[in-house]
Structure 1
Amino acid sequence: MNVRISRSLGVIAVLYFTANFSAQTKKDTVSKENKIEEIVMIGYGGVKKQNLTSAVSTVKSDAFDDRPIYNVGQALQGQAAGVNVTQASGKPGAGVEVKIRGNNSISSSVSPLYVVDGIQTNDISGINTDDILDMTILKDASSTAIYGINGSSGVVIITTKRGKIGKPQLNFNAYWGFSKTMKNIDVLNQDQYRSLLGDIKLNGGGDYLSTANNPRYAGINTDWTKEVFQTGFDQNYNVNYAFGNENVKAYAALGYQDIDGIIKPSRFQRTSAKVNLDAVILPWLKLNSTVNYFITNLTNTNDNLSTARGGVVLSAFNTPTFLPVYGNQVIMNPSDPEIYDPVTGAIKDGYKPGQYGPNPYQSSWENPVAYQSRKDKTLTQRFLSNLGLEVRLLKDLTWKPSVSFDMIDSRNTKFTDGYQTSYGRSKFGIGSQEFTQFQEYNFENTLNYTLKRSIHDFSLLGGIQINERNFQSKYYGGDNFPNDTFNFSYDLAKNQSYDIRKEILRQVSFFGRALYTLNGKYTVMGVFRQNGNSALASGNKWGFFPGASASWLISKENFLADSKVISELKLRGGWGKTGNASAIPAYSHFNLYNPFWTNGVPVYTVSQYDSGDLAWETTTDSNIGLDLGLLTNRIRFSIDAYQRKTDNLITPFDLGPQKLRIYRNIGSLENKGLELSLNTMNIKNENFTWNTSFNISFTNNKITHLNKELRTIPAANIEGMGTLVRFEEGQPLGMFYGYKTSGVNPNNGDMMYVNANGKVVSYTELKPEDRGYIGNPNPDFTFGFSNNFKYKNWYLDMLITGSVGNDIFNATRFDLEMMNDYKNQSTAVLNRWTTAGQITDVPRANSASAQFISDRFVEDGSYLKLKAVTLGYNFMSPFKGVSKLNVYVTGQNLFTITNYSGMDPEVNAFSPNNGTTGAERAVFGIDYGTYPQVRTFIIGLKANF
């Protein structure tokens, strides 16, 4: 384990010892019975917390409402055991990976199902976290089986704020802040760079030095990081109004968020509107409805790409400093044939006003500011609504019909004009516009029967769900535009292309749950769902997903009922099955054909093979847990152990020279884990309170079976290097695969390697079979640690998150340490081998021995991060009409303890959220020019009227 992190965890342990000691020496006035009566949301209803039989965690809004976040996933980070959240990119609006109990698939989505006020969705990108009241995480299949093929990766039930009976409440929240990079990478200055170019030439490389010494670049010394990185700015405004009486309760909210990123032109803007309404129509009839409307504008900056492919981050480090931002910044010598046409005397492209300076080594590798000029904007509108009734048919029988509708309209526009950049000029302007529309209709009917008689408490739920999802997209692309075109217009392109796609996916489900509690001590629960899905062929469309669980509230037994130490002790266990169909396209069991237009005549060719024998993935989950409360629940401890096995793993393959896609069930995967959480009320008196929360999760996974004809599955192609990740039976997911190094040969400066027989050999002796597993991106454990202090009207909140034992493959170093061409390099290459006998771990310049995927680039990715600190003060009735005014300051990502040499260890270049090519399998822990995390400072206020 990282020594620095070990010491930090030691500090946490000391704090906990102090916390527990304090808790045991203080008296508590909190009612034990009030705690027990707490209601926790589970699928299609709620249950008393004391009667929970499954692994469930709850996150309240006060854990994140003072932080500058834009995504529900960020709000979950570090807050619950077994919930691992990775913000794979610091880019504004970038997706956040949420995994509940690790990865349980190779190619299917492992993101949880979100249930927002009863609306089921996998997309929570537009939801305003200011509207959230609390979130409940269902982690094991005994509770998620009722969601069938949507529940295999866990469920997050989100409850938003609603109107209440009492005085109307008007609230206003706002914050403003700025962001900076957390860490930079030092690159060579001009003297160091020229020395490197000399060594490259000396070792048989190209003569790049003469270009760098060209007089036209005299006096130019561009600091590309200053040109690319800037100070980001955050602003957020929310206003909501709630009122209620015996018959009508309503909540209305309006929000606006604007995040200007640290790398131009990245920007995220969101406007949200929400109305929640609850009404009693008749004594036996209630209505509830939710209406949400979001508009988001996302301006993208290309990252997770090499310099050659337009990656802004890597280009900021790789571009030589002797090159200018604009071409006309060089010495404009009329006798220079590179700048002036020797016949006409006209200035050539690349040096005209407003044109970015061309790269003299290779014109397609442009400077980062030129890459930033490429337009890539996405406008998304979303309407998310739900309408439900609650009809009391009999005293104990309730019927709840509901209908929900989700519509997402999105328009992405890309354009590179034909004047400013070398790439744009080569295409005479190039761009595209893609329109996508997603519509989901969901109809649910449930009957809920409850019976309470003496020591018996029984409830029975039955329901049916009909779901339809429609997706369509229209793509228009083109190049060769008129000279004065600076925005995409399909009609102006001389070379045009277009594509239209439509999909319809339908599901029908029958589900039920029975819950029985005897004497408030013994609880059993059984659930099931029968799922039908149109994506699968006949014979495979239907699946049955059951679950069962039980709990024993031991603390209610006579021998513990009067205990002054143990206030709650519960043992629980469960088993269940869920499914996953997210990797299955709507028409997987058909041969699909694509039309190609030739002179206006369509020619159809096969684009996908029939996957008619495909079945969905099935996850079998077992869980056992213990809940312990001490000293009237001032100390609460929970532990869960689980085992999850996924069968019929799905992955796509591209077959034949035409790379036609087919989907196959290919094997099995197993996850095992242990989760612990501890919550303590350390001190509570009239003036001062201190609460602490700690959670830690241990997870390991293994591919238990792959079909014999497969043996292994490669993934994660690194340009010019090959595939980096390999899936193999008996190995954990996402393992890095390459050669093992044995240092630098002090005689010639070449990297030495270890072959399959354990012998040290030169790179010329390497064979493909000498490759092996060189790194594991799966952490041994992850943790979250928070403290909340209140002194009179002051409060201080702190959140620490961390990951230990995971490796990172720092592919960024390919571009920064290879020393095989004209790109600028990091200062790490100052330690390169230069003379015989030199001892170093950096090979000589232009050494072919360095051009391999190897453990040289594998680093310890363990980290401990001070994720957020908030200091605030509450003014009570400061002005007439203002009941409370809260002013606070927050710092986010204040420091990180890690040995990782990159900009931040919280990365995943191949995250599906990043849109990275090849990110369709469980690939993680790779850094490849990722947009860095940011350190943010904000000041905010909240006013209650």
Structure 2
Amino acid sequence: MKLNRLLCGCMLLLPFCIQAQDVGYVPPPSSETEEPGMPLRSALNKLGKLHKISFAYSSKLIDSKKVPAVSSTKKPLPEVLDDMLTPLQLQYKKIDEGLYVIQPALISEQNIAVPIKGTVKDKDGQPIPGVTIQVKGTSVGTVSTPEGTFTLNAPDANVTLLFSYIGYDPQEIALEGRTELNVVMATSSSQLEQVVVVGYGTRRKRDLTGAIGSVQGEELTKQPVNTATQGVQGKLAGVQIISSGAPGSQPLVRVRGTGSMLAGAEPLYVVDGVLTNDIRNINTADIVSMDILKDASSAAIYGVRAANGVVIITTKRGKIGKMEVSYNMNAGFREVAHLVKMANSTQYTDYLKDAAPNVTLPGYNVSTNWYDAILRKGFQQVHNISLSGGSEKFLYYFNAGYLTDEGIVNVNKYDRLTIRSNNEYNISDKLKFVAQFSYMRSNTRYVDLQGIYTNTYRASPLIPVMQHGKYGNTAAFGNVGNPVLTIDKNNDKLQEGRVQGTTYLEYSPWKFLKLRSSMSVNQSNFNRKKYNYKFLNDETTFLIAGGNQQRPESQLTMVKEQNQEWLWDNTATFQQRFGDHDLTVLAGYTAQKYQGEYIEGSRRNVPISTDLWYLIAGDPNTSTVTADGDKYARTSILGRVNYSYKDKYLATISFRNDASSRFPSENRNGYFPAVGLGWVLSQESFLKDQQIFDFLKLRGSWGRIGNDNIESNLYILTGSTGQQYFFDGKATLGTSLADIKNRNLKWETTEEYDFGLEFTTLKQRLTGEINYYNKKTIDALVGVKIPGLLGDPDNEYITNAGSFVNKGWEFTLQWKDKINEDFDYTFGGNLTLNDNEVTGLNQGQPLLKGGVGGQGPVTKTDNGHPIGSFFVYDALGVFVDQAAVDAYLNKDGQKIQPDAKPGDLRYRDANNDGRITVDDKIYAGSYQPKLYYGLNAGVNYKGIDLSMDFYGNAGNKIYNGKKAFRYEITDNVESDYADKRWTATRPSATDPRVLSNSMPASTYFIESGNFFRLNNVTLGYTLPKQLLERMKMNRLRICLTSQNLFTVKRFSGFSPEMISTNPKADGFISAQNNSSPLESGIELMPYPTTRTFAAGLNVTF
């Protein structure tokens, strides 16, 4: 009842408006006569005032026309309109007593001689309904049917026909005696006419006042990627995407820099109205477009969750016409793109002579490459089949997809089944019902990435992988487990299911007003079963007994997690054009609730048979149970006004009020306003005669957005039960304080200014965009150290005590040209310059993070520096001999490093106090790149298409943590270090004699993160239309593609792209990588990036 009253109230407020989607509406004018030469629009305004009527018309139809002669307003209205319109080849049609439609005049049949017919299709052979076909220079015209066919009568068979449709390039075709045409329309080369999803609505790109980047779905499907965002790498300015090679993983996405220190820094994803933080369930083949709201003005409509940008994904829907059946697939293999080359047996033995001369070497005659032992070429394949079509009453789209990815690590595998069904029912001209449903089920065979890669890097090449059915005992020599045994003795499987759905009812009581009520559901479940096999460190398992790699008891761990979330959106949208004024008003209310539960249990001594892998089969005395849960809710009120005058002056105002249960009641509400202004200079009279710009627009915006991506109960004090204490001489069960919480916790808030320039030139061949942004985050959550006597186990107190800024420039240029009907090409690029700086830590405490072995923290976040900056000693090189040690003196003549030996690193006395202490540490760069960029090129010639994508970044640093993290002196070393390290006979000036865990963190371990990568190359061929018609097909395309073909870099580690500090096998719970912004850029043992080679096929019937 409340909803009905709300909707009826909205209707009663707007009874004076009429339909005007594509047409102009004339309000009452202010004069009563029409003068020769007066604009037709003004003349109609006056007639509307005089006769109390309204006129509807296409702006393009009348904007250039003027009244030819004086029309007496004393004549009857029909005569006045005839006098005014007939000379202009126009006519009117009376709809009712108050509304007249102006339209092109019909040519009398006696002048029509030649019937013309034909079809209009897109480049994929699909019919395009609603295309306007007009005889050039006349008002004779028609539109294409739902099947893409058309018929019209032309004055003769030598006229020229004009074809036009929104989103496609217009065409002029001379008949030259032909009476039947088959027309293929190309997607519009003008990005200005593209429709962009802006959150609860759409806008033309030319009308935007904010910064929004868009990628079309067909661009994503060209690449053999498993997650949609991976296909956006390097394509959009201001958007940095870092991918892992792990099957089923989700790339890390950063929009205009790091957006938080402690709260989540990932963007919000909106998939057909469903809000989520995980899009691994989205099939790339289902995507129409991906629009990324980069600035606060665009994202503020999503308020509480928009601080890190918003990624809006729109999936496919049916089109009017007969059923279209489409099948596409690609299959190929993945391999590791780059590995660290480890020392062979000769290099390793030579190293141990200096590092551990007393160690007895094993007697095997081997030189084991442990990476070869655990890695493989993994097969991957993707299959999709879709059905789509419909009528004016019902549109449908259905797709089923299957993906399998073996990964590059032995036994690692990911399988995914997806189903999507999008249906639209037009119940009447005013009422529409839409149901969108998706289902995903995946199975993953996990491997212990951290343990396997750590041991592979450390393991001695002098130990064999396996001989005679027994494992080489790496643990007996060097205290490092055999990584192949680790893989074989663990069986870790995850099954994940996800259901997402949106249904909405849209009612239009008048054509200018839409009322929509939408309900979205997002439900997921995870079931993990991990079995650890029993094995001993005796000679039944290993070639020799000993070491600490053993498991005396088998163990079964089972995890179950369920998450449920619903979102109810209610919006009213008013859209109308009043002459030169275009107005869209949005108002809405949303409510959201989430609840999740997690339980984990384990038992030991579970039988080895897979049929008995149940907890009840294990030893009850070894049971462990862990449970957790979460729930939160949000409610929101939102509104937005879009206004334009003559498509020249643009304004957007939005507001959102969010209430989140994740904050205490006094700080629960957040207010997020935004405003954007645009000025299309190319529409101004003083620029109409210039020949440089086809389109030129200036825009500026300001907005405020929030971030509540934190733990739900971060402000609530918690306690631990089961604690005993003595009271009155008796042991009493009690509760102790678990941690200290901040009752005044509040929102992280981000304010951003954005200024942009957009242009097209050279007959729309060249498109460009320049943006400047200044994004400041205040009240950022940080962990402040507190005295231990306060009772917090971590001695940490989370509070709003930080502020930082991201500011920078974005540049985009794209050239598109069509030489002839057979040949077109494109190339372009984008560049982002970003500067991150901490501007205030209100408690005065720098944040030290990123511990690497015995080195302690290697990052420091403090005022005046980027988040997560490296803070280490400055290594100046190596003492080449004892004379160099003796010569390194302070002003008093004393040795600055008195305990140093030849071959040790020399550190700079940064504070000039004559000794090396913690006060000598310096800031040595950050993991955040100062610039990142993308380049693209493509060419199409007679059905052959070739495209290439490049991307890279510069100005960032990486801490080679795996080199610094030394568990044992017998750990293997990298081949390059083994050849270049200092020795008595080869006194190196760059690499120390020995690497040990006790070495302090220094610039020796910091390397450049700059790289340039050929990300994708695709070569395809589309069969010609004539051949397809004989084969009864609409489209057939074959292609070869490669992902991550080569990388130019200076970093000696696995990959200069750092997605995670330290990957975990159980990261599936949140589907997020676990890389904290305070300690990113430290390479320990990441999953190596992969290179993919694949072949693809696309067939449409």
Which TM-score bucket, shorter chain as reference? 0.7 to 0.9
Once the two structures are TM-superposed, the CA of residue 116 in structure 1 deviates from its matched residue by 1.0
Moved more, 654-663 or 441-450: 654-663
- Decide which of 110, 121, 130 is 2:285's aligned counterpart: 130
Equivalent positions of 1:65-76 (< 5 A) are 65-76=221-232
Moved more, 717-726 or 149-158: 717-726
Residue type at the aligned position of 1:727: T
Change in 2 beyond 3 A, CA 1:909/1:460: closer
- Decide which of 1004, 1015, 1023 is 1:867's aligned counterpart: 1015
- Decide which of 943, 951, 959 is 1:801's aligned counterpart: 951
Equivalent positions of 1:198-213 (< 5 A) are 198-202=353-357, 207-208=358-359, 210-213=360-363
- Decide which of 487, 507, 510 is 1:391's aligned counterpart: 507
Deviations 1:830-849 (CA, angstroms, capped at 9, x unpaired): 2222217823312123678x
SS state at 1:516 partner: strand
Q: Which residue matches 1:539?
A: 666
Aligned-partner Cα distance in 2 for 1:651–1:232: 42
Query: RMSD value over aligned CA atoms?
Result: 2.7
Once the two structures are TM-superposed, the CA of residue 357 in structure 1 deviates from its matched residue by 3.5
- Decide which of 630, 635, 654 is 2:761's aligned counterpart: 630
Change in 2 beyond 3 A, CA 1:109/1:180: same
Once the two structures are TM-superposed, the CA of residue 919 in structure 1 deviates from its matched residue by 3.8
SS state at 2:830 partner: strand
Once the two structures are TM-superposed, the CA of residue 114 in structure 1 deviates from its matched residue by 1.4
Residue type at the aligned position of 2:269: Y
Moved more, 615-624 or 293-302: 293-302
Moved more, 292-301 or 635-644: 292-301
Q: Which residue matches 1:770?
A: 920
Matched, 1:460 2:614: no
Is contact 2:489–2:533 with CA below 8 Å preserved after alignment?
Answer: no
Equivalent positions of 1:125-524 (< 5 A) are 125-202=280-357, 207-208=358-359, 210-213=360-363, 218-303=364-449, 305=450, 310=451, 312-326=452-466, 329=468, 357=473, 359-361=475-477, 365-371=481-487, 373-419=489-535, 425-481=550-606, 488-491=613-616, 492-493=618-619, 494-524=621-651
Aligned-partner Cα distance in 2 for 1:483–1:452: 73
SS state at 2:667 partner: coil
Is contact 1:548–1:575 with CA below 8 Å preserved after alignment?
Answer: yes
Aligned-partner Cα distance in 1 for 2:747–2:678: 31
Once the two structures are TM-superposed, the CA of residue 354 in structure 1 deviates from its matched residue by 6.0
Aligned-partner Cα distance in 2 for 1:61–1:484: 46
Deviations 1:192-219 (CA, angstroms, capped at 9, x unpaired): 22222221234xxxx32x1424xxxx34
Residue type at the aligned position of 1:904: S
Aligned-partner Cα distance in 1 for 2:980–2:1015: 34
Once the two structures are TM-superposed, the CA of residue 729 in structure 1 deviates from its matched residue by 1.1
Is contact 1:386–1:405 with CA below 8 Å preserved after alignment?
Answer: yes
Is contact 1:717–1:918 with CA below 8 Å preserved after alignment?
Answer: no
Is contact 1:194–1:212 with CA below 8 Å preserved after alignment?
Answer: no
Change in 2 beyond 3 A, CA 1:742/1:189: same
Matched, 1:684 2:809: no
Matched, 1:820 2:969: yes
Aligned-partner Cα distance in 1 for 2:1063–2:677: 37
Residue type at the aligned position of 1:782: Y
Aligned-partner Cα distance in 2 for 1:529–1:56: 19
Is contact 1:97–1:913 with CA below 8 Å preserved after alignment?
Answer: no
Q: What percentage of residue pairs aligned between the two structures are identical? A: 28
Aligned-partner Cα distance in 1 for 2:986–2:851: 36
SS state at 1:571 partner: strand
Q: Which residue matches 2:842?
A: 707
Matched, 1:664 2:799: yes
Change in 2 beyond 3 A, CA 1:489/1:61: same
Once the two structures are TM-superposed, the CA of residue 184 in structure 1 deviates from its matched residue by 2.6
SS state at 1:120 partner: strand
Q: Which residue matches 2:235?
A: 79
Residue type at the aligned position of 1:797: S
Once the two structures are TM-superposed, the CA of residue 450 in structure 1 deviates from its matched residue by 1.8
Is contact 1:234–1:258 with CA below 8 Å preserved after alignment?
Answer: yes
Equivalent positions of 1:834-853 (< 5 A) are 834-835=983-984, 838-845=987-994, 851-853=999-1001
Change in 2 beyond 3 A, CA 1:31/1:293: closer
- Decide which of 902, 910, 929 is 1:756's aligned counterpart: 910
Once the two structures are TM-superposed, the CA of residue 928 in structure 1 deviates from its matched residue by 1.0
For CA contacts below 8 A with separation 6 or more, give which structure has more relative contact order: 1
SS state at 1:212 partner: coil
Matched, 1:891 2:1017: no
Change in 2 beyond 3 A, CA 1:694/1:34: closer
Is contact 2:245–2:1090 with CA below 8 Å preserved after alignment?
Answer: yes
Once the two structures are TM-superposed, the CA of residue 727 in structure 1 deviates from its matched residue by 0.7
Deviations 1:897-930 (CA, angstroms, capped at 9, x unpaired): 1111122212233278984997444432221121
Aligned-partner Cα distance in 2 for 1:669–1:440: 32
Once the two structures are TM-superposed, the CA of residue 368 in structure 1 deviates from its matched residue by 4.2
Equivalent positions of 1:604-623 (< 5 A) are 605-623=736-754
Aligned-partner Cα distance in 2 for 1:864–1:897: 5
Change in 2 beyond 3 A, CA 1:450/1:941: same
Q: Which residue matches 2:894?
A: none
Is contact 2:535–2:551 with CA below 8 Å preserved after alignment?
Answer: no
Aligned-partner Cα distance in 1 for 2:171–2:806: 40
- Decide which of 1041, 1049, 1052 is 1:901's aligned counterpart: 1052
Once the two structures are TM-superposed, the CA of residue 408 in structure 1 deviates from its matched residue by 0.7
* Aligned length in residues: 869
Matched, 1:716 2:850: yes
Is contact 1:180–1:232 with CA below 8 Å preserved after alignment?
Answer: yes
Aligned-partner Cα distance in 2 for 1:165–1:372: 54
Aligned-partner Cα distance in 2 for 1:741–1:750: 10
Is contact 2:481–2:549 with CA below 8 Å preserved after alignment?
Answer: no
Moved more, 398-407 or 477-486: 477-486
Aligned-partner Cα distance in 1 for 2:548–2:818: 64
Moved more, 650-659 or 454-463: 650-659
Residue type at the aligned position of 1:156: V
Once the two structures are TM-superposed, the CA of residue 570 in structure 1 deviates from its matched residue by 0.4
Change in 2 beyond 3 A, CA 1:36/1:636: closer
Is contact 2:458–2:480 with CA below 8 Å preserved after alignment?
Answer: no
Is contact 2:343–2:972 with CA below 8 Å preserved after alignment?
Answer: no
Is contact 1:267–1:299 with CA below 8 Å preserved after alignment?
Answer: yes
Q: Which residue matches 1:341?
A: none
Is contact 1:211–1:360 with CA below 8 Å preserved after alignment?
Answer: no
Residue type at the aligned position of 2:753: S
Once the two structures are TM-superposed, the CA of residue 434 in structure 1 deviates from its matched residue by 1.6
Is contact 2:981–2:988 with CA below 8 Å preserved after alignment?
Answer: no
Q: Which residue matches 1:644?
A: 775
Matched, 1:940 2:1056: no
Deviations 1:744-779 (CA, angstroms, capped at 9, x unpaired): 1111111111123258x8xxx532222121232121
Moved more, 913-922 or 445-454: 913-922
Change in 2 beyond 3 A, CA 1:731/1:488: farther
Matched, 1:590 2:725: no
Aligned-partner Cα distance in 1 for 2:1086–2:760: 44
Query: What stretches of structure 2 of length at least 5 have no aligned partner?
Result: 1-169, 173-185, 538-546, 725-731, 882-901
Is contact 1:789–1:795 with CA below 8 Å preserved after alignment?
Answer: yes
